[in-house]
Amino acid sequence: MNDTLRGAALMVGSMACFAVEDGLIKGLSGAFPPAQIIWMLGLGGALAFALWLVLSRQRVWSAHYLRPQVLLRTGFEVLGTCCFVSSLALLPLALASAIIQATPLVVAMGAALFLGATVGWRRWLAILVGFAGVLIIIRPGGAGFDPSTLLAVAGMLGLAGRDLVTRTMPGAVSGARLSLHAFAALVPGGLLLQWALGAAPVMPDAGQFGLLAVCVCIGMAGYLTIVAATRLGDISVVSSFRYSRMLFALVVGGIAFGERPDIATILGVIIVIGSGVFTLLREARLRTASQA
């Protein structure tokens, strides 16, 4: 395999990890308040990344953590994670995952509006078509509208904001440190949300501790795999395989929760994914032409 194929394979593996992690989080939501899941996963992830930095002989603390860009990125991460995890507790896994697929479209639009990126009419059209697909999925004002879908939309917007800020980050801030900072911030964020909602804490039993540990390990595996994927081959082609997460979500949701998405959801997903892939490939074609 060439580097692009290897990168695509790693990206598919990463998306499988994240879909399984989402399924485990949804399963845990039957035993714990979503806010408690957020801070428990944040604590587990922060400890895991701190251990990774120590074993790789890197400093855990960095002065970069106090930079405004890092703090803003972490704020978007906490917002996106809190909203998305909360939506997993209330919505079918496939539906929440379908909405999150619009993240790259929002990033492309945000890059044009806030970062000065050049976006031609074809990509603007693809972005608008993708947003139409999101409206088909959530059906605002229709009989099938569930207000909980707005949590998934807020989560998608938060994660898009995180990705936009990440594009402006200095190269000196490593991905591992950014992840440690983000996971650590989920602990006070989740605790504050749990207190605000008045949700009583639940003590995990041995089996639930095991599931939480598995969830953290799978999440870290997904992170490490996606980092490796983005370093191989044509990034635009490799990134288009992010949408395989939806396929894995459909499988996990069907097997674990007996979900059967309706025709409108499937149609909306096809539109969003098609628009996203077109946007990525069009961006790659224009970048290649400008470098020729």
Q: Identify the pLDDT of residue 172.
A: 61
Dist CA 177 CA 179 (whole Å): 5
Under a CB-based contact definition with an 8 Å cutoff, are residues 174 and 113 in contact? no
For 7-30, how does the pLDDT look when each residue is reduced to its tens digit (9 = 90+)?
889 989 999 999 999 999 999 998
Under a CB-based contact definition with an 8 Å cutoff, are residues 28 and 216 in contact? no
Question: What percent of the chain is modeled with pLDDT above 90?
Answer: 49
User: Which of 218-222, 244-248, 257-261 has the lowest average pLDDT?
Assistant: 218-222
Under a CB-based contact definition with an 8 Å cutoff, are residues 130 and 278 in contact? no
Under a CB-based contact definition with an 8 Å cutoff, are residues 186 and 142 in contact? no
Under a CB-based contact definition with an 8 Å cutoff, are residues 150 and 34 in contact? no
Q: Identify the pLDDT of residue 291.
A: 64
For 147-183, how does the pLDDT look when each residue is reduced to its tens digit (9 = 90+)?
889 999 999 999 889 888 887 776 666 777 888 888 8
Q: 1 pLDDT exceeds 70?
A: no
DSSP-derived secondary structure for 12-27: HHHHHHHHHHHHHHHH
At residue 71, φ and ψ (nearest 5 deg) are -65, -40
- pTM equals 0.87
